[in-house]
Each structure stands twice: as C-alpha cells, then as structure tokens.
A and B are shown apart, each in its own frame.
Chain A
Amino acid sequence: MAIISNAVTIADAGAFSASLGSMVHIKTITISSNAATVSFVHGSSDVVLDSTYPIYKFEIINLHPDTNKVYFGFQASTDSGSNYGVTCTASNFGAFQTEGGSDGSLGYQTGGDLTQSTSYPQIGAGDRLGSHNDNNFAAELILFNPSNTTFIKHFLCSTQHGGADAATSSNYCGGYFNTTSAINAMSFKFHNNASNIQSGKIKLYGIKDS
C-alpha cells in the first residue's frame, strides 16, 4: 500500500519515494584499544560494498597510532577479505609545514606512490604521523564503483595530520586498483614500524546515484 500525501507518493513497496538524501551511512568502526587492522567486508557485520552504490566514501577521524613516525594505508580485496593485495598504481603529493614556520613546502612524494604494487597505498605523508597524545589523522577516501567487472577501480584520497616533528602535513593521493574483478572488502592499517591503531573511527558511506 502506498502512502500518498497531497497527491504525492511518499512511500511505496517498502521504500520511500521522497528524497532522504544521497549520502547513506553504512558502517562505523570505532577503535578504542590497539588493533592491527580495520576491515570492511561486504556482507559481514552489516557492511555493504557492492553495486548498491556507485561511490563509497570512507571517513577517517582522529586515528591515533601507538608508534611514532608511521603512515596509514589501505588495500582492497577481491575475495571477501581472504587476501588484501590488489595490484595498484598511485600518485601522492602534499604540503608540509613545521610549527617553527621555516619549512613550508609542496612536492610530489615519491616514497608514497605505488607502481603496479600489491602493497598498501599510502594515505598521508611518509612517516610523519606522530604518536604524541594529541597527534591524530583525518582523511577522506573515495572509492569509485568497486563492484564493476569491466573497469579498473579508481580512488581519491585527501588527508591531514599532525606530525611527529611538530608539523602539519596535508596529502593528496589518487590511483587505481588494476583489476577488473569486483572489490568487495577494504582493509586499513598503519604500514610501518608495526604500529597498531590505538584509537579512532572509520566510517563508511554509500553515495546514491539516484
């Protein structure tokens, strides 16, 4: 039975006809004690990462490492999280500035890019993320059409973090997972110095196309 108000169909067939916004929250993972990795696997723990949405957005908020001078990375899986090692090519550039004010700079980060590698693409700048109590990391990662079985899978990421050396770094990475298989899981972790994620939050949203 449809719900009709003033000749406008509000709901029908188990869904709203009226617009409810296009950015839909899917899953929040909150880390409150040391975790080596955080993973979002389609079909597990209410995670949706399939053709439901053409664009997925991960928001990373106040992520804090337990080890100084680390960087954060992510990888994709085509087998529901059994393996995270999809071949990736990515670029990375960013701006850097110390609290002393003497080192403002902008540059390509050769250490942060990937060339047909199955390593974790780097989010952020080198090993500049600090573990001081107030240091943390914020980022937005957009993954385009992960369920597609024709095209490679593009992503864009922008980050901002407080550094191990009393500095700020803003970084921008883009690239693609060089696979035509559907991506159905994503993993996040600190990628060097064996650091755990001590605290923070990662949120997954789906962006509707209609």
Chain B
Amino acid sequence: MAVVSNGTTIIDAGALGSGVPTGKMILIKTLTASSSATLSFVHGASSVVFDDTYDKYVFKFINMHPATNEAYFTFNMSLDTGSNYNVVKTTTFFRANHPEAGSNGSLAYRTGDDLAQSASFQRLSAQIGNGNDESTSGYLTIFNPSSTVFQKHFMAQSNAYQIGNEHTNNSHIAGYGNTTSAIDAIQFKMHSGNTDSGVIKLYGIGG
C-alpha cells in the first residue's frame, strides 16, 4: 500500500517515492584506528562498497594520531582487492605553513612530498606530532575508481600539527593513479609506526 501525503507518493512498493528528494552522500563504512599498522577499505569485504555504485568516493579522516613522532599520514590504491597497494601515481603537493609564534607564514610547493610515476604511498599530511593533542584531519576524494578507460584522479586536503616549531600545516594534494584498471581498495597508514587512534569514514557520492 502506498503512503500518499497531500497528493505526493512518499512510500510505495517498499521504496521512497521518486518525487522524494534524498541525500546523495551515503556513509559506507567507518574504520577506527587502535594502534593500527594499516587501515584498509576493500570492496566486497566488511560491507565496503568501492566500485561503480558511485561516481565519486570521499574519505574523511578525523584526528589521525601517530604513535611515532613526525610521521606522515599516507595512502595507496590497489587493483587486486588489497593484495598489493602499489598503483603508480603522479601527484602534486603544496602547503601553507604558519607557526604558533606567528612569524614566517608561507605557501610553497613541496618537491619532497609529491610523486612522479611512483608506486609509493602518497603523503596526505605534513609531519604529525605524537603529543597527546596532536593529529591530522582532512579528506580524500577519488573520482570514478572503477573506470577501465581513464586515469584515476584524486584530490585531498589536510591540516596537521607539526611538532618542533609548533606549526599548522594546511596541505593540498592531488594527482592521478596512472592506470586504466579498476581500483578496488584503498589503504591508509602512517609512513612510520602505527596509527594510535583516529577515524576514517568512507562516503559514496552519487545520484
């Protein structure tokens, strides 16, 4: 039996009516770090969807806290459902930096943080302090990972607390996985040591 309100079909045949506008940012999976060496989202495993269901996927990483001081938060892609995370990438990385002392704010390209046809993990942050209140947060967007025609573009932004001179670092990262194979898994990790704590949420965006 349909549910009709004021002439509009709200619910029918077990689904919302076509005239009901619904949100198109769908939470797929949340992973919570706890002294984790890696955090992986693999299509088809643990309720993860990472295929052509959505045109775009967004990972939001929140308060990623390293066990090791001055660790970089990183990610890589997989073409074989997580057996290997080693997709060749060409990327850019620039960041704005400002110390708590208030001097020497700067904006610069970071040649040491980008990749050129490399299968290495891509840095998603500046070095993160491991003090109790120190972490990085940000997001990573990946466009159409299931395409078997095109390169796989991604864009990311993060903010991190950098130990030392107590800096804030706003990093902008972008690039492509230089493959026409479908990407079916993403892995995150600190470049050194475990991720003590933090949350990564995967959303599918699509209409």
- Residue-wise interface mask of A (3-18) relative to B, using a CB-CB cutoff of 8 A (1 in contact, 0 not): 1000000011111100
Interface size on A, residues (CB 8 A): 51
Q: B76-103: which residues lie under 8 A (CB-CB) from chain A?
A: 90-94
| Chain B residues, CB < 8 A from A201 | 55
In the complex, A201→B55 CA distance in Å? 9
Asked whether, in the complex, the Cβ of A59 is within 8 Å of the Cβ of B172, the reply is no
- Nearest A residue to B116 via CB reads A101
| Chain B residues, CB < 8 A from A22 | 23
Asked whether, in the complex, the Cβ of B5 is within 8 Å of the Cβ of A168, the reply is no
In the complex, A25→B117 CA distance in Å? 36
- Nearest B residue to A26 via CB reads B207
| Chain B residues, CB < 8 A from A23 | 23-25, 205
Is B1 positioned at the interface, with any CB of A under 8 Å from its CB? no
| Chain B residues, CB < 8 A from A12 | 5
Asked whether, in the complex, the Cβ of B205 is within 8 Å of the Cβ of A160, the reply is no
- Residue-wise interface mask of A (151-195) relative to B, using a CB-CB cutoff of 8 A (1 in contact, 0 not): 000000010111000011110100000000000000000000000
Contact of B176 among A2, A140, A160 (CB under 8 A): A160
Asked whether, in the complex, the Cβ of B149 is within 8 Å of the Cβ of A134, the reply is yes
Is B155 positioned at the interface, with any CB of A under 8 Å from its CB? yes
- Nearest B residue to A3 via CB reads B3
* B contact residues, range: 35 or more
Is A144 positioned at the interface, with any CB of B under 8 Å from its CB? no
In the complex, A160→B152 CA distance in Å? 10
Label chain A's interface by main secondary structure: strand
- Residue-wise interface mask of B (141-153) relative to A, using a CB-CB cutoff of 8 A (1 in contact, 0 not): 1011001011101
| Chain A residues, CB < 8 A from B114 | 97, 101, 104
CB distance from A31 to the nearest CB of B (A): 14
Contact of B55 among A16, A172, A203 (CB under 8 A): A203
Give 5 A-B pairs besides A15-B8, A97-B175, A134-B149 with Cβ atoms closer than 8 angstroms: A23-B205, A62-B150, A101-B90, A135-B151, A168-B91
Tell me the A residues contacting B by CB distance below 8 Å: 1-3, 11-16, 20-26, 28, 59, 61-62, 64, 95-102, 104-106, 133-138, 140, 158, 160-162, 167-170, 172, 201, 203, 205
A to B CB contacts below 8 Å, 21 in the list: A21-B22, A21-B24, A23-B205, A61-B144, A62-B143, A62-B144, A95-B92, A95-B93, A95-B94, A95-B174, A97-B90, A101-B117, A104-B110, A140-B155, A160-B143, A162-B153, A162-B176, A168-B175, A168-B176, A170-B155, A205-B207
Q: Nearest 7 pairs between A and B by C-beta? A: A21-B23, A25-B207, A101-B116, A170-B174, A14-B6, A95-B92, A106-B109
